[in-house]
Amino acid sequence: MTDGPGHATTPPRASSDDARTAGPGRLTSPDRVVAFSDGVFAIVVTILVLEIAVPEGLSEQSLRQVLEELRPTLVAWMVSFLITGMFWVAHRDLFSRVRSVNRDLVWLNLLFLLPVSLIPFAASVLGKYPDEPIALHLYGVVMIVATVARTVLYWYVLRRPALLWSDPGHQHRRFALTLSASPIIVYASAMAVADVSAPLSVTLYFAVPVLYFLLVTLLRDRAGTRAQADEFT
């Protein structure tokens, strides 16, 4: 077993205090949980791109028409790819701190992956019906459920130092939970404007990963939040 975070092949033997604070179930290495999760994210990204297909043997005029018709699908793919990447980065950041997993953490991770695996379905509906409010609402529901599940996962792990390489402290826990849950506001706003302006709704969905990256970057430049922000990719 190595000493660094995220590199352990077998977790260290838990003390009696650790066993009481780590939650139910035997403590095991997080390696298989991380590998399974990475596989799910890889499949989600692969399914997303499979929605983009161009028929063979088209004339130049027909190809232009097909590419124009594919524009909503390409937009839905790009937005969904970035959001899926944001979820994967957050999952990677969290599990780089995890030393051991218990039964509850395994199941909470699965519950997080459930709405994530629905992203290709929501993106497909949005790509086919980009001007329909119900498609935009469905997309928002999937994103909100995934964000809530991710926040619960963060909350559970960060409140159990025995599962981590080190106790993150109260300030880091508050920072992580706020950063994790904040996209819900944007997703809800995108759903609210869907009936009025579909392009604005899509723009708000696209803004989430962009705002996440900018926010983490800005917080790294502030002395008061640099230590917490450095934990996030």
147 contacts 95 by C-beta, under 8 angstroms = no
Question: Exposed/middle/buried for 165, CB within 10 Å: 0-12, 13-18, 19+?
Answer: middle
- The predicted-structure confidence for 179-227, as pLDDT tens digits, reads as follows 899 999 999 999 999 999 999 999 999 999 999 888 888 878 887 777 7
* pLDDT for 76 beyond 90: yes
Instruction: Choose between 223 and 43: higher pLDDT.
Output: 43
* Cβ neighbours of 132 (radius 10 Å): 14
* pLDDT for 17 beyond 80: no
Strand, coil or helix: 132: coil
* pLDDT for 4 beyond 50: no
User: What pLDDT score was predicted for residue 6?
Assistant: 44
Question: Exposed/middle/buried for 230, CB within 10 Å: 0-12, 13-18, 19+?
Answer: exposed
Q: Give one DSSP letter per residue of 189-223, joined into a string.
A: HHHHHTTT-HHHHHHHHHHHHHHHHHHHHHHHTST
* Cβ neighbours of 148 (radius 10 Å): 16
- Each domain of the chain, given as residue ranges in start order, spans 29-229
Among candidates 113, 90, 101, 87, which has minimal Cα distance to 10? 101
In whole angstroms, give the CA distance from residue 214 to residue 100: 31
With pLDDT > 90 as the criterion, what percentage of the chain qualifies? Answer: 62
pLDDT-derived band of residue 23, with 50, 70 and 90 as boundaries? low
